[in-house]
Structure 1
């Protein structure tokens, strides 16, 4: 593995090491790079989703319904659990998607007081088109790493994420 050339985070670390040599700023390196990567990746992902008339929030709802399998419907609370948002936020997202004809609210046959959120045919077609473009974009975004590096990064990030979840 070749060592990459110094980046903006290296410059920040050098400045802190010069100004505050008493601090161990080594954790700032990976965290700063993750933050900067998030900004770059979000920009690229948002551009692809926007080309399909979606944003990351609306795509998340449609993709969650689509990957749940036929008949592509979930309760609002099940949707909320996978997306880690409040009920008010979830209601707002469902309202937006319903106005666009991408989802519909249906009575829950297992709970007379409950509802299910279901993909409409229009919603399914859109999310299938968007997820195809999204996956191709993700592949491009990871192209700087070979398969072995991707697997190593994934393993490290999984371990790191598990400390929080």
Structure 2
């Protein structure tokens, strides 16, 4: 939290306890949820900026941010044999159906190839084409400094901690969504 954010949090009056948006003591500071809410706002702002960086990198090579993310993930995960759609979807925390639609667009653009998985003929393996490798390689000239700038304030230790925290928070985010779905289903009963 920046000094400005701390000052904003410190000078904002909290409402009654019943208006708290969290109840876990670990998330309350001075018995208020102000720091928690600032964390959420800062997280949303950072996520928006990460998404915009992806969008702009994708635009540089004629892709949407999502298509760029999928393409670069295929390149990094394909190994010698290729990567399956479900593995790719799991890695990106996206649905298999959505990834399939996006991959088909990349296939039409000549950036990804699909071949039948020899160990399960119902599935396909994805690999990037030479055209995709060339595009992604040409992009590193701006991608590297953009990513460096995005995380410039982190030490190596903080980067390691952040990676672990984000991985855990994706899981708890999924649990929170499942809880919201369950609670919504209970409202109608």
Q: TM-score range by the shorter chain?
A: 0.7 to 0.9
Secondary structure of 1:27's partner?
A: helix
Distance across 2 between alignment mates of 1:162 and 1:37: 18
Normalising by structure 1, report the TM-score: 0.76
Give the aligned CA root-mean-square deviation in angstroms. 2.9
Distance across 2 between alignment mates of 1:32 and 1:73: 38
Structure 1 position 87 matched with structure 2 position 93 = no
The residue that corresponds to 2:145 in the other structure is 136
Alignment equivalent of 1:6, drawn from 4, 7, 22: 4
Structure 2 regions of 5+ residues with no counterpart? 21-31, 172-189
Distance across 2 between alignment mates of 1:72 and 1:66: 11
The residue that corresponds to 1:56 in the other structure is 65
Distance across 1 between alignment mates of 2:163 and 2:79: 31
After the TM superposition, which segments of 4 or more aligned residues of structure 1 sit over 4 Å from their partners?
none
Q: Which has the higher contact order (CA 8 A, sep 6+)?
A: 1
Higher helix share: 2
Structure 1 regions of 5+ residues with no counterpart? none
Distance across 2 between alignment mates of 1:116 and 1:69: 8
The residue that corresponds to 1:114 in the other structure is 123
Distance across 2 between alignment mates of 1:138 and 1:106: 32
Distance across 1 between alignment mates of 2:167 and 2:154: 22
The residue that corresponds to 2:165 in the other structure is 159
Alignment equivalent of 1:75, drawn from 70, 80, 84: 84
Distance across 1 between alignment mates of 2:123 and 2:52: 37
Normalising by structure 2, report the TM-score: 0.67
